[in-house]
């Protein structure tokens, strides 16, 4: 675990001293956009045109943020349009690495050993964290974006000429609802589990914990009213929540001490998680081996023995009851 300072790698854990033991996620630094027509997106000066074969995605199968982008690449049928590299599940003193084992691909573009080499290839004086996902432009040899919430918007809308244009996970008419759910789910749930797990004071942990379970209760209630968060169609808001839910019982409940309840204890949330898991293509993006080995194996401050628990028994392919709601045609 570490970060780059003026292009130099430094091995450092998150600093929570200045924030009363609270984990604060840093802003992603590369924020350009790929557009259909190659015109710069609003407020940007750089332009990246959507083209097949030009872009490459770097992901970790363990990471919930990267997982969003993998799901969009899969469901929008962009696997032949955007190529892929999968980092190793262990994140140690060199950060993410490209060891080839257990289904990791290595760096299929440059043969680098470490993900931080890709960041310094894009910007030799980069300072900041070296995170996945990364959307890379093979033509300009630079990072377009390392912000998952924006990468999924690009995959949803910019590549329809080659992908599945019939699927829109951010439809015009639902945007207000989707944005509202995203806000709630990001702070309290997606990032909330990290705020529990990486807290270094009791107070910071309890604050995050209460928010997390308050938000899960609200989602449980909503899912008693509709099949998906924004109604009867699957949207971006569901996929953003799903990647946290699928990691919850195997990892966050134990490793991050999010243990008031398991997802399995919530009837709606557990059925909903299975419903989304069973959307064709999604199960192939879920790798519980990477997920468990990454968290339990990499965070020595939380789990010094690095022992990976064998359980729990989970079957996301088991039947669910979400068909009781109408689904839009």
Which residues on adjacent β-strands are paired with residue 95?
92
Q: Is 91 helix (H, G, I), strand (E, B) or coil?
A: strand
The H-or-E segment that residue 156 falls in is helix 148-157
DSSP 245: H
Work out how close the CB of 309 gets to ligand GSH at its nearest, in angstroms, rounded to a whole number. Answer: 19
Work out how close the CB of 133 gets to ligand GSH at its nearest, in angstroms, rounded to a whole number. Answer: 6
Please say which residue, 28 or 35, places its beta carbon nearer to ligand GSH: 28
Between CA 249 and CA 97 the distance in angstroms is: 26
Q: Is 98 helix (H, G, I), strand (E, B) or coil?
A: coil
Whats the size of the chain, residue-wise?
329
Work out how close the CB of 151 gets to ligand GSH at its nearest, in angstroms, rounded to a whole number. Answer: 7
Say how many C-beta atoms besides its own lie within 10 A of residue 132's C-beta: 24
Please say which residue, 149 or 222, places its beta carbon nearer to ligand GSH: 149
Between CA 31 and CA 237 the distance in angstroms is: 20
- CA Rg, the chain, in Å? 19
- For 112, the token pair is 């680098």
DSSP string, 168-191: -SS-GGGHHHHHHHHHHHIIIIIT
Work out how close the CB of 192 gets to ligand GSH at its nearest, in angstroms, rounded to a whole number. Answer: 14
Please say which residue, 134 or 174, places its beta carbon nearer to ligand GSH: 134
Q: Classify each residue of 150-159 as buried b or exposed e, where b means 16 or more C-beta atoms within 10 Å of its C-beta.
A: bbbbbbbbbb
Please say which residue, 146 or 270, places its beta carbon nearer to ligand GSH: 146
Please say which residue, 89 or 227, places its beta carbon nearer to ligand GSH: 89
Work out how close the CB of 267 gets to ligand GSH at its nearest, in angstroms, rounded to a whole number. Answer: 29
- Residue 226's φ and ψ, nearest 5 degrees, are -145, 155
Q: Is 136 helix (H, G, I), strand (E, B) or coil?
A: strand
Between CA 247 and CA 292 the distance in angstroms is: 8
Work out how close the CB of 120 gets to ligand GSH at its nearest, in angstroms, rounded to a whole number. Answer: 15
Please say which residue, 15 or 80, places its beta carbon nearer to ligand GSH: 15
- For 321, the token pair is 């009851």
Q: Is 34 helix (H, G, I), strand (E, B) or coil?
A: strand
> Which one of 55, 58, 63, 295 is the catalytic residue?
63
Q: Is 85 helix (H, G, I), strand (E, B) or coil?
A: strand
Residues at the site binding ligand GSH, with contacts judged by CB under 6 A:
1, 28, 60, 63, 65, 95, 129-133, 146-149
> Which one of 55, 58, 119, 194 is the catalytic residue?
194
Please say which residue, 28 or 85, places its beta carbon nearer to ligand GSH: 28
The residue written with tokens 């892929």 in the block is: 84
Annotation marks residue 63 as catalytic: yes
Work out how close the CB of 14 gets to ligand GSH at its nearest, in angstroms, rounded to a whole number. Answer: 7
Q: Which residues are catalytic?
A: 63, 194
């Amino acid at each position: 675990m570490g970060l780059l300072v003026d292009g130099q790698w430094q091995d450092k854990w998150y600093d929570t001293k200045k924030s009363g033991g609270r984990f604060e996620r840093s802003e992603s630094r590369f924020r350009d956009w790929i557009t259909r027509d190659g015109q710069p997106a609003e407020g940007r000066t750089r332009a990246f045109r959507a083209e097949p074969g030009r872009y490459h995605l770097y992901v970790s199968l363990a990471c919930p943020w990267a997982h969003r982008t993998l799901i969009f690449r899969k469901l929008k049928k962009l696997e032949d349009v955007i190529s892929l590299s999968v980092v190793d599940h262990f994140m140690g003193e060199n950060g993410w690495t490209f060891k080839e084992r257990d289904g990791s691909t290595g760096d299929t573009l440059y043969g680098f050993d470490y993900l931080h080499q890709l960041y310094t290839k894009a910007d030799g004086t980069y300072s900041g964290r070296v995170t996945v996902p990364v959307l890379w432009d093979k033509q300009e040899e630079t990072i377009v974006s390392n912000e998952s919430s924006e990468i999924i918007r690009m995959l949803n809308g910019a590549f329809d000429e080659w992908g599945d244009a019939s699927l829109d996970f951010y439809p015009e008419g639902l945007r207000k609802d989707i944005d509202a759910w995203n806000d709630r789910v990001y702070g309290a749930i997606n990032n909330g589990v990290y705020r529990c797990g990486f807290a270094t004071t009791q107070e910071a942990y309890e604050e995050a914990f209460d928010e997390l379970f308050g938000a899960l209760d609200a989602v449980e209630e909503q899912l008693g009213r509709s099949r998906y968060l924004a109604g009867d169609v699957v949207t971006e808001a569901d996929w953003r929540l799903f990647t946290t839910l699928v990691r919850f019982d195997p990892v966050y409940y134990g490793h991050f001490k999010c243990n008031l309840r398991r997802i399995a204890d919530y009837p709606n949330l557990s059925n909903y998680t299975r419903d989304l898991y069973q959307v064709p293509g999604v199960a192939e993006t879920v790798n519980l081996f990477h997920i468990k080995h990454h968290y339990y194996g990499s965070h020595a401050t939380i789990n010094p023995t690095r022992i990976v628990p064998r359980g729990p028994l989970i079957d996301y392919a088991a039947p669910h009851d979400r068909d009781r709601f109408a689904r839009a045609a």
